[in-house]
Amino acid sequence: MGISDLFDPSGIAVIGASATPGKLGNDAMANAKEFDGPVYPVNPKGEGEVYGYEFVDSVADTDADLALCCVPAPATPGVIEDCGQAGVGAAVVFAGGFAEADEDGKQRQEEIRQTAEEYDIAVLGPNTAGHIIPHKKVFCSFVPGFDEIETGEVAIVAQSGGIGVTSTFQLEREGYGISGMYGLGNRVNTDFDDVIPVLDDDSQTNAIGLHIEGTAEIDQFEAVVEEADTPIVALKSGNRMHDFVHSHTAAPNQDYERYEEILTNNGGVMADTVTELLDASRVLGKSPVPDGPNVGIVTAQAGPGIMMADYLEERGAEFPELTDETHERLDDLLLGFTYDENPVDTGRPMPEFGQVIDAVARDDNVDIVLVYEIFEHSLGYPVEELEQLAEDLDKPIVFTVAGPYDALEPDRKRMEALGIPTFDAPERGAYAASVLVDSIR
Amino acid sequence: MGISDLFDPSGIAVIGASATPGKLGNDAMANAKEFDGPVYPVNPKGEGEVYGYEFVDSVADTDADLALCCVPAPATPGVIEDCGQAGVGAAVVFAGGFAEADEDGKQRQEEIRQTAEEYDIAVLGPNTAGHIIPHKKVFCSFVPGFDEIETGEVAIVAQSGGIGVTSTFQLEREGYGISGMYGLGNRVNTDFDDVIPVLDDDSQTNAIGLHIEGTAEIDQFEAVVEEADTPIVALKSGNRMHDFVHSHTAAPNQDYERYEEILTNNGGVMADTVTELLDASRVLGKSPVPDGPNVGIVTAQAGPGIMMADYLEERGAEFPELTDETHERLDDLLLGFTYDENPVDTGRPMPEFGQVIDAVARDDNVDIVLVYEIFEHSLGYPVEELEQLAEDLDKPIVFTVAGPYDALEPDRKRMEALGIPTFDAPERGAYAASVLVDSIR
């Protein structure tokens, strides 16, 4: 019973399921159908099948422990009561029209809360886009296309379903997938402090990205962030548009600074945009904790190298001198033609580029390695050298890619598999390195 | 003769062409082969053909007016002399080892400059990745994959070839293409002030994005920026790494503020990252000039709408009250369920979403319309309504997309064709709207 049924259901009921395309209850079925266990479309008016599953009249006729409620707000309290009587342990409520709307809505949300307490039901929402866990084939959302999202290593917990959804599609588009997306909505009884500990224990989740508008349970939030071993990144929004924010997820007005303090006191970082939320989560999820803030930059093109160095210097990163031994190795490799201080610039991709990275990565003065290289077909990326480095060292290496994207994709994937996070614009690679610096401050 | 041969060659000689894959002279041929006119691989040691073109011994044996010099630095002054004698009007010099390197290099660059002056040759570089103009099938670069870059509406003029290359591949990956990329390198006699006026007259180029490290010809730069009608965006880098910057493109140390003043006094904007450079160029290139700084936001998902409003408020955008007439239309469409101040939130995509945009776009208090909508297959994007708006109004509309990217791509392309620029993350749409606000300040 309770929250574990959200994460590990054995059967899923879709209440208000529909055979009519475009309806919420049909969109929810289109995603839920991917589940490996039994799926029950519940609708007394339903006839025949939807996505190969036969309609049933009532949730009481199912063995579901997770219910997706695809009914309007006024019908929801009754549905939750039905779920309780049928022994369902968790429910996702998509409808809006609760505490975020008006007095009637507040009353309705309180009814749900009481019923859920009585039967020990974990309710995700109301007013949520739901949740998905691709590696468990759990797709509990009405968002079209979610059934094709692949597995990744970052989990997103979003107060706004919209931010959860856009984050999910961005991770998918960029080839990273997601370990889970959880839209919290109005948080009737499932809040950040309920979800974070479960994700902290989830072996598929290497980092947790949060989108926060505000929660009344901020002390509990602080406690679970303190407790978590998994890196956490937070994007706090709604710092200005207070009445809009309240109308959205019934969030209380809260200071950015309070969240910043909680995160940064516990090795987490704050992100300012969706892209930063995803990039910071990915780099912290993939990388070992650096020993210090000293960044060594290796670039195959000077211009982007200069830009990354500018970016990092503005954010207070340190660029250490390289040791004499490193300089000797670099002199042999580069023959003095290009800039071999830090940043080290090879001028163009070259067969020795992997050895140049190796020299800088093995330098004891360097804690974090940031690489930039435009892909050339005839050379590829130096995956073999990186494999050796990943084996020998416990030091973060961030690789910034550019070039013909289809051609570089296989090497990019191989680097990711080695534990080397990849980013596709100079500022994104530099941002990722700055996150590693910030995470140890 | 001169710079027009860079932009409109009638024949291209590749000096130092090679049949050996991976060699610079082979990579350059792989791109140059796309040209519609004659292409001449020049190499006295060459035998037979390369990419179907027969080797010739000397540039004197060709009718080329544009030469790509794929020879090392020490051989370059002689090659430029050959070009002059052969009547070649423009040359691209890829090699490094000139003013950015050492005293010998400075001397070499001065030799080239004098020869070029004597024969009236426009030299792009040295120390450049070259230039490409996809709509003219001019691909004068050694960068593998450039021959597949498609035509777009933004031109990039980059002091760093690396930034030019990464910008080109990013525009290509995101489906926008490029109207031209020009890597300036050491600017022996082809500088920003030579290229910008030509692009200002180019009907394929709607906006010009600049990457600047520093130029001695800053007064001439100011004059052409003042003169240009085409929107200009600049990314100034190398604000900190002065010695690395000098070693890169022999750039003088210059203040960010001087460039900022030139740009902002002339309707241009400064960008901080590559992605901003491309996004700002795209939005200014596509959009009519707004009448004022008042932004109306229409969102189908509250969370991203809140984030965009936050982002814009921080940058000083105004959110006007909507007129009574607009509120009446919105009340009919939204039935009071969601937030209908500005931002206007529809809660979910809905068939009436296009009418909601229409209501806000026709509001006289709104100068710039910013839209956010996660794509749903059954609804698509409201392209018909946008088509009508584009016909009736001369007001910028910025559309932020999210969702399953393959599915939404056709509608995104249709919006672009209507003159509605599209962006794929909440912060990118909001940034684009903020650029429109900044451009009239």
What does each of the 441 residues of chain B score in pLDDT, given as a tens digit?
Answer: 689 999 999 999 999 999 999 899 999 999 999 999 999 999 999 999 999 999 999 999 999 999 999 999 999 999 999 999 999 999 999 998 898 888 999 999 999 999 999 999 999 999 999 999 999 999 999 999 999 999 999 999 999 999 999 999 999 999 999 999 999 999 999 999 999 999 999 999 999 999 999 988 899 999 999 999 999 999 999 876 667 777 777 767 668 899 999 999 999 999 999 999 999 999 999 999 999 999 999 999 999 999 999 999 988 898 999 999 999 999 999 876 667 789 999 988 899 999 999 999 999 999 999 999 999 988 999 999 999 999 999 999 999 999 999 999 999 999 999 999 999 999 999 999 999 999 988
Alpha helices in B253-321 (DSSP H): 256-264, 274-286, 302-314
What's the whole-number mean pLDDT along residues A245-258? 75
Q: Verify whether the Cβ–Cβ distance B144 to A97 is below 8 Å.
A: no
Residue of chain B with shortest Cα separation from A164 = B303
pLDDT by residue (tens digit) across A361-407?
A: 999 999 999 999 999 988 999 999 999 999 999 999 999 999 999 99
Residue of chain A with shortest Cα separation from B350 = A22
A417 touches B: beta carbon within 8 Å: no
Task: For residues B380 and A81, give the distance between their C-alpha atoms in angstroms, rounded to a whole number.
Answer: 36
Rounded mean pLDDT of chain A?
Answer: 94
Q: Verify whether the Cβ–Cβ distance B425 to A170 is below 8 Å.
A: yes
B287 touches A: beta carbon within 8 Å: no
Task: For residues A156 and A233, give the distance between their C-alpha atoms in angstroms, rounded to a whole number.
Answer: 10
Q: Verify whether the Cβ–Cβ distance B301 to A377 is below 8 Å.
A: no
Q: Verify whether the Cβ–Cβ distance A145 to B402 is below 8 Å.
A: no
Q: Verify whether the Cβ–Cβ distance B96 to A374 is below 8 Å.
A: no
Interface probe with A: pick from B100, B168, B171, B306, most Cβ of A within 10 Å: B306
Q: Which of residues 52-91 of B touch A (CB under 8 A)?
A: none
B301 touches A: beta carbon within 8 Å: yes
A279 touches B: beta carbon within 8 Å: no
Give the one of A22, A272, A303 whose C-beta lies nearest to B248's C-beta.
Answer: A303
Contacts of A180 (CB under 8 A, 6+ apart): A131, A132, A133, A134, A155, A156, A199, A202, A204, A205
Q: Which of residues 100-129 of B touch A (CB under 8 A)?
A: 101
A178 touches B: beta carbon within 8 Å: no
Report the pLDDT value the prediction gives residue B114, as an integer from 0 to 100: 98
Report the pLDDT value the prediction gives residue B348, as an integer from 0 to 100: 84
pLDDT by residue (tens digit) across B96-127?
A: 889 888 899 999 999 999 999 999 999 999 99
Q: Which of residues 209-228 of A touch B (CB under 8 A)?
A: 211, 213
Residue A279 has pLDDT above 70, yes or no: yes
Instruction: Write out chain B residues lying below 8 Å of A425, CB-based.
Output: 166, 170, 273-275
B228 neighbors B181 (Cβ within 8 angstroms): no
Residue of chain A with shortest Cα separation from B245 = A306
A190 neighbors A6 (Cβ within 8 angstroms): yes
Domains recognised in chain A with CATH numbers: 1-127 (3.40.50.720), 149-286 (3.40.50.261), 289-439 (3.40.50.261)
pLDDT by residue (tens digit) across B289-312?
A: 999 999 999 999 999 999 999 999
Question: Which residue type occupies B335?
Answer: L
pLDDT by residue (tens digit) across A292-347?
A: 999 999 999 999 999 999 999 988 898 999 999 999 999 999 876 667 789 999 98
Report the pLDDT value the prediction gives residue A1, as an integer from 0 to 100: 59
Question: Which residue type occupies B419?
Answer: G
Instruction: Write out chain A residues lying below 8 Å of B170, CB-based.
Output: 402, 424-425
Task: For residues A263 and A282, give the distance between their C-alpha atoms in angstroms, rounded to a whole number.
Answer: 16
Q: At what angle are helices B274-286 and B426-439 packed, to 10 degrees?
A: 60
Q: Verify whether the Cβ–Cβ distance B96 to A347 is below 8 Å.
A: yes
Instruction: Write out chain A residues lying below 8 Å of B241, CB-based.
Output: 306, 309-310, 313, 343
pLDDT by residue (tens digit) across B53-100?
A: 999 999 999 999 999 999 999 999 999 999 999 999 999 999 988 988
Q: Verify whether the Cβ–Cβ distance B244 to A339 is below 8 Å.
A: yes
Q: Which residues of A48-73 are buried (b: 16+ CB within 10 A; e: fewer)?
A: eebbebebbeebeebebbbbbbbbeb
Beta bridge partners of B210: B157, B234
